[in-house]
Amino acid sequence: MNSDFNITIVGLGLIGGSYAMALKEELNPKNLWGVDIDAKTIETAKNMGIIDDGFKDAKIPLENSDIVIVSLYPELAIDFIKSNIQNFKRGAVITDTSGIKGKVVGEISSCLPDYLDFIGGHPMAGREAKGLSYASKDIFKNANYILTPTEKNKSENLALIKNIALTIGCSNVVSVDPESHDKIIAYTSGLPHLIAVSLVSCNNFGNTQKSFIGGGFRDTTRIAEINPDLWSELFISNKNNIIEQIDKFQSNLSILKTAIENEDMIKIKEIFDSASKKRSELNSNE
């Protein structure tokens, strides 16, 4: 892939920092700049050699960047782009990495001039941690990358972001519309987090209880170590879809509860059999 670009990454946290590391190693663009509100983070990123230079004020890097990757929480990403409209270089391709798309794409597209192209993006990669110190170029290895194009996006720019995703290690780039993204993510990502949190919250862990905790409990609660700031925002921003998924889930669990109350072994086995087959469909992708 052609690497003759200037790229700016806004937000040098877990995802932004990992993106910088991966780009430096796999693409090594003409210039790779970082923007962050924290001077110490910028210093660390420069010392690690993952950015060529870092800025608290975005004006200079944006004016000279062909590609801008905004790696901030959704509201901050929207605010950042809106308040820096005048600073972007003509023809720049802007993308984000946030976990919701309808609101982000909608708000940004409606205020973007024609000479800029914003493509909603969401690398399906991450860790239950925050901050540059947890960043790793490997988080993208074999991950999927979702793009949420609209008819405003130019096909050559979509191809560009797609190639970047593949270059940093992603195995697959999938395009869906922003609303479908939010609907699907509420199930595949939102709901599991809420479930893990609710499960952990049921009881306290004395030493005796801890002896009963095996792989099943650990796996089902792993993502309960949740980043409260990020996820509270993601859930509220996608609340209708989230609530729909919670309702479906609670309904399923209630059906199982009733079957157990009624000692309806046939019904229970039917549900288990069906779930087991369904879950095994994912194994070929594991």
* Identified binder of a copy of itself from the candidate list 31, 64, 144, 163, rule CB under 8 A: 144
CB of 117 vs a copy of itself, minimal distance in Å? 23
Question: Which of 2/266 has CB closer to a copy of itself?
Answer: 266
Q: Does 4 bind a copy of itself (CB under 8 A)?
A: no
Q: Does 141 bind a copy of itself (CB under 8 A)?
A: no
CB of 259 vs a copy of itself, minimal distance in Å? 9
CB of 35 vs a copy of itself, minimal distance in Å? 26
- For the record, the structure tokens of 258 come out as 């009733």
What angle do helix axes 102-109 and 178-185 make, rounded to 10 degrees? 160
Measure the CA dihedral 35/190/176/146, to 10°.
Answer: 40
CB of 122 vs a copy of itself, minimal distance in Å? 9
- List the one residue out of 72, 47, 43, 74 whose CA is nearest residue 56: 43
Q: Does 166 bind a copy of itself (CB under 8 A)?
A: no
Residue 87 and residue 62 in contact, taking contact as beta carbons nearer than 8 Å: yes
C-alpha triplet 196, 234, 218: angle, nearest 5°: 15
- For the record, the structure tokens of 100 come out as 């919701």
Q: Which of residues 177-196 bind a copy of itself (CB under 8 A)?
A: 180-181, 184-185, 187-189, 191-196
DSSP string for 135-147:
--GGGGTT-EEEE
Q: Which stretch binds a copy of itself (CB under 8 A): 58-66, 77-85, 88-96, 229-237?
A: 229-237
CB of 78 vs a copy of itself, minimal distance in Å? 17
CB of 149 vs a copy of itself, minimal distance in Å? 14
Q: Which stretch binds a copy of itself (CB under 8 A): 5-13, 28-36, 101-109, 173-181?
A: 173-181
Q: Which of residues 67-126 bind a copy of itself (CB under 8 A)?
A: 124-126
Q: Say if residue 249 is exposed, middle or buried (CB neighbours under 10 Å; 0-12, 13-18, 19+).
A: middle
Q: Does 231 bind a copy of itself (CB under 8 A)?
A: yes
Q: Does 275 bind a copy of itself (CB under 8 A)?
A: yes
Q: Which stretch binds a copy of itself (CB under 8 A): 63-71, 88-96, 103-111, 217-225?
A: 217-225
Q: Say if residue 46 is exposed, middle or buried (CB neighbours under 10 Å; 0-12, 13-18, 19+).
A: middle
> What are 46-54's contacts with CB under 8 Å, separation 24+?
48/21, 49/24, 50/17, 50/20, 50/21, 50/24, 51/9, 51/12, 51/20, 51/24, 54/12
Q: CA-CA distance, 5 to 23, in Å (whole number)?
A: 11
Q: Which of residues 14-53 bind a copy of itself (CB under 8 A)?
A: none
Residue 73 and residue 233 in contact, taking contact as beta carbons nearer than 8 Å: yes
Q: Which stretch binds a copy of itself (CB under 8 A): 27-35, 53-61, 111-119, 250-258?
A: 250-258
Question: Which of 112/226 has CB closer to a copy of itself?
Answer: 226
